[in-house]
Amino acid sequence: MLVNSSYTLDHLVDLYFAQRQINKKKYFASYLINASLAWKQLFRNTIYAVQTEWVPLKRGTPYNYVDIPKGSIRFFSASEVDRHGQIVPLYYDSLLNIIPKPTDKKCGCNQCDCSGLCDDLNSVVYTTKLLFTINGVDYYEKDWVKYCKNGDIIEYREVPTKKYNDFSGDGGDYNDDYNDDYSTQPPPFSDYTIVTETFQKVICTLKVKPCGCPESIPENEEKVNGCCASFFPLFGHRHRHHYESFLGDINSNHRGSVKMSECGTKLYYKQPIHHGHRGHEHKLPDYLLISYQLSGEDCNTSVQVPELAEETMFFGIDYYSKRFNMSFTRPEREEAKYAWNDAQNKLLLELNPISLEWLSNIQDAVIRY
């Protein structure tokens, strides 16, 4: 295994001065800035140096998170260690909601956050059921529930009903056939009016807080799920019927998922819902292994540049020292730019050599399109 030596930025600037036969170091600081710009360009787009670091997991809202290390510009992966000591990557879930949706307090309480059961019970919907149709008009039964401050959940029903004005009827059919002998007469009991009857009953009673909002405890959860499940929105988290995922389970290792924050400084971690090995609860990790790329912003005289990038750095220092210097002509500045780009391409070829066998296979491949 080859071990390459390295040079500091100030040493590279000294070597550049020696090749340019510059005796005075009047503009040494300026050339050192140019060297840092060249190194940052190489570090970002050519060398692709990857840094791996264990970062502690912190508690936060809406999920626990780890701080992205300072100076990183690309996030590659997050991992944790399984029970065998092996590194297991975590799934990056772009659909994970990390920005909580603002909620309006429909109950009007100002003493608690009104989340959980309180928010759910104030978001119920009413259900309908078609009872009958008369003269092309549909009549529906409407059901809904209402939460009271004393903890009672009351179910209300509005049922359309036929209210008969008299019960005399008519003579009826005298023959055993399928025709009405009294077809010229109105149907039996036809003198009625459609009225709506309202019914109510207490279906369960919840334990409440001093402010009147329901407590988010397992006992209340069980009562609400058993009595009011059909009154929650169809795609709500409390609705009992769930459809299978269209694409199936794309996070099959059940190690949790991560997503980057909008500001790019935090990586949120969502603990898996499924149980761990043999039904045991998945343990929350203390650290996450983060792989990222540094930006090279903190360039100074102590930055270590690998030996293989030495020649490329010389062309970089030369280009950055000439691009805004009007004492050089435009062709000279353009030539320095082309030489700098060519040096970067040569460094890429050196870091990523092309296999001649692979190249020969490409030449012999059948052209299908």
DSSP 76-135: EEEEEE-TTS-EEEPEE-TT---SPPP---TT---SS---THHHHHTS---EEEEEEEET
- The domain total for the chain is 3
- Looking at the fold, whether 141 and 225 belong to one and the same domain comes out as yes
Query: CA separation (Å) from 340 to 39, 318, 353, 368?
Result: 12, 8, 20, 38
Element (H, E) at 31: helix 28-42
Q: Of 264, 305, 289, which Cα lies nearest the Cα of 73?
A: 264
Q: Check pLDDT > 70 for residue 26.
A: yes
In a domain, 195, yes or no: yes
In a domain, 314, yes or no: yes
- Looking at the fold, whether 227 and 256 belong to one and the same domain comes out as no
Beta bridge partners of 79: 89, 289
- Looking at the fold, whether 285 and 188 belong to one and the same domain comes out as no
- Do 186 and 196 touch, CB atoms closer than 8 A? no
- 189 or 363, which is more confident: 363
- Looking at the fold, whether 89 and 169 belong to one and the same domain comes out as no
- 195 or 120, which is more confident: 195
- Looking at the fold, whether 143 and 180 belong to one and the same domain comes out as yes
Burial class (CB in 10 A: 0-12, 13-18, 19+), 159: middle
d(CA 195, CA 160) in angstroms, rounded, equals 6
Mean pLDDT for the stretch of residues 208-223: 81
Query: CA separation (Å) from 30 to 7, 24, 25, 229, 321?
Result: 19, 13, 10, 71, 8
Residue 340 one-letter amino acid: W
Q: Check pLDDT > 80 for residue 187.
A: no
Q: Check pLDDT > 50 for residue 243.
A: no
User: Mapping DSSP to helix (H, G, I), strand (E, B) and coil, where does residue 157 land?
Assistant: strand
Least confident of 17-26, 56-65, 192-201, 230-239: 230-239
- Looking at the fold, whether 212 and 144 belong to one and the same domain comes out as yes
Domain boundary among 176, 200, 231: 231
In a domain, 306, yes or no: yes
Written as six digits, the tokens of 38 are 């060249």
Q: Which residue has the tokens 């008969």?
A: 164
Mean pLDDT for the stretch of residues 336-352: 90
Query: CA separation (Å) from 350 to 62, 226, 312, 353?
Result: 46, 67, 12, 6
In a domain, 193, yes or no: yes
pTM of the model: 0.48
- The per-residue pLDDT for 3 is 45
- Looking at the fold, whether 139 and 172 belong to one and the same domain comes out as yes
In a domain, 309, yes or no: yes
In a domain, 316, yes or no: yes
- The per-residue pLDDT for 302 is 60
- Looking at the fold, whether 155 and 83 belong to one and the same domain comes out as no
Domain residues for 135? Answer: 117-231
- The per-residue pLDDT for 2 is 40
Four-residue CA torsion sign, 244, 248, 254, 256 = negative
- Do 68 and 292 touch, CB atoms closer than 8 A? yes
- Looking at the fold, whether 333 and 278 belong to one and the same domain comes out as no
Domain boundary among 199, 231, 263: 231
Q: Check pLDDT > 80 for residue 343.
A: yes
Element (H, E) at 36: helix 28-42
Least confident of 2-16, 123-137, 172-186: 172-186
Burial class (CB in 10 A: 0-12, 13-18, 19+), 116: middle
Maximum average pLDDT range among 14-18, 224-228, 307-311: 14-18
- Looking at the fold, whether 346 and 312 belong to one and the same domain comes out as yes
d(CA 71, CA 57) in angstroms, rounded, equals 19
In a domain, 225, yes or no: yes
- Looking at the fold, whether 29 and 66 belong to one and the same domain comes out as no
Q: pLDDT of 272-323, one tens digit each?
A: 765 554 555 567 889 999 988 776 665 555 677 888 889 999 999 999 999 9
In a domain, 160, yes or no: yes
- Looking at the fold, whether 124 and 227 belong to one and the same domain comes out as yes
Q: How many CA atoms lie within 13 A of 305 on its CB side?
A: 29
